[in-house]
Structure formats: C-alpha cells, structure tokens
Structure 1
Amino acid sequence: MKDGIAHTLRALHHGERRLARDLVAVAERHAEEHEVHHVATDLADWSREHAGRLAELAAAEGLRLDDDATEPLSGAGPEGLLLLHDLRTLHLAATENSLHWEMLAQAAQTTRDERLLDLASACHPRTLRQMRWTNTLIKQLSPQLLTSL
C-alpha cells in the first residue's frame, strides 16, 4: 500500500474515532434535547462502524491503525502531505466561516436586520467560493500526491 494512502487511512481512522467520541459527548451533554441526543448517538455509531471498517481494510493490507498514534497528515512529512494538510486546514476554516455566515443570515432574517442580511449576503458567497477552491485542489492533487509517496 502506498505511504500516502496509508497516511490518509490513519488520518481518517483517527478522525472517525474522534468524531464518535465528540458525538457521544454532545449526546451526553444535551441528553434533555431528545433529538440531539438520539441523532448524535446514532451518528457516533456510524463513525465507530466506519473506524472498524477502515481498521479491517488496513489489516487486510498488513497495516495497523494504532489508536494511540498521533494524527497523520498533521503537517509533518513529505511535501505533498504538507500541501494536503494545509488545504484541508483552509477548507475546514472556510467551512466554519460559512456556517457562521449562515447563522448570521438566519438571525438577520428573523430580526429583519437589513444591514446584517446585506453583509451576510455579500460575504457568504465568497466564503463558499473559498470552500470550492480548496475542495477542487484537494480533488485534483490528492490522487497524484497520495499514490506517489
């Protein structure tokens, strides 16, 4: 198995396990919100299943996905992995900003705050463009970078 693909499997396994833990924590913290509690619990089960399936596939390829290992694709390593890490970081930051723009726009609509709605309407599309740009680069570069290591 190519090193780049192995790194990505480790990162995804780590991410799925972290997401499962985070979802369980949210479900427990908001147990009184029945929909949040039940959906978060179900989604945590999905992430645990994903992590298990990743571990099975990796094991079949002779790769061990250590739960205690530091997160792969953390910025250290070959230049290609560093670029993918940086693009992922940018994409996640833009995604978070997009959610905040959406929340502000919804609040502006509810309160009929035209200035705030105008601001969100002007800026949010650019944030969506940032997300599309990073996503496009990740799609274009990851096949070559992950299979060339």
Structure 2
Amino acid sequence: MHLSTYLGLLHTSLGTLAAAFREIAAGHGDEPDVQHMCEVLAGRTDSQAGHLWPFVQRYGEHREDEPERLHAAEVTETRGGGVGLLRDLQDLYALASFTDITWTVVGQAAQGLRDRELLDVVSSCEKETKRQLSWLTTRIKQAAPQALIAAAN
C-alpha cells in the first residue's frame, strides 16, 4: 500500500507550509495583516498536522522531498517591497495548493479503505486549507495593483 507515501508527503508539506507561513510573517512585519494572518495560519497548519498524526502512526509514512524542495526553492527567505510581498504570497499559495491536492489524494485513499475517521479529518482539514487559499488569493489581489502599477509610477 502506498498510502504511507502520501501520508509522508502530507505530513512534510504541512510542516513546511507552517514554517513558510511563519517565515513570511516574520519577514513582512511592516504589513500587520500579513504578519498576523500568517501566524494564525501557521498555527492552524500545525493543528492539521496534529490531526493527521494518528493516521501516520496507523498507516506509517514514507517521507519524500517534494515539499522541502518546493520550500527550499521558493520560500527560503522573504523578499522586500511590494513585488517581494506579492511573490512571497504566491509562493505560499503554491505550497498551500500542493498541500490541498495531497489532502484530496489521501481522502480518496480513505474512501477506498472506508476509514471514516480519516475521512472526517481530511474533510475538516481540506476546508481549512481552502480557507488558507482563499485568504491568500484575496491578499494577492489586494497587493497586486499597488505592487505592479502604483509603485511603477
């Protein structure tokens, strides 16, 4: 069974996403809403990892490097200015999207296994990840005109 591979991917991506949210929060303290929300979302991502943990123990986990590679390639440090904020938010969006689709894959396995407990966790955590993606989309839309047009004048 390869569920352990995807549990490993998901567990790792959650840790990476939480760390990335914290990194962006610390690097963009001049944007109080970004700093605050990224700290909140980091905590919620940690909570998702906590909810996943019993299933990692039940089914095992095989760790892969994809989330770390994505984190290392795109969110190793924050960038300055409006365009930097925009790019950092896009990096978070990419990592959150990876996490989201990995929840989907794990959910499909849970359906196949008829594991009601895992399905409940997946359902709850997918909703949370969608909220993260929604906030990121809204904040990117807010930052884009300022960064791409107003700052150029």
The higher radius of gyration belongs to: 1
Q: TM-score range by the shorter chain?
A: 0.3 to 0.5
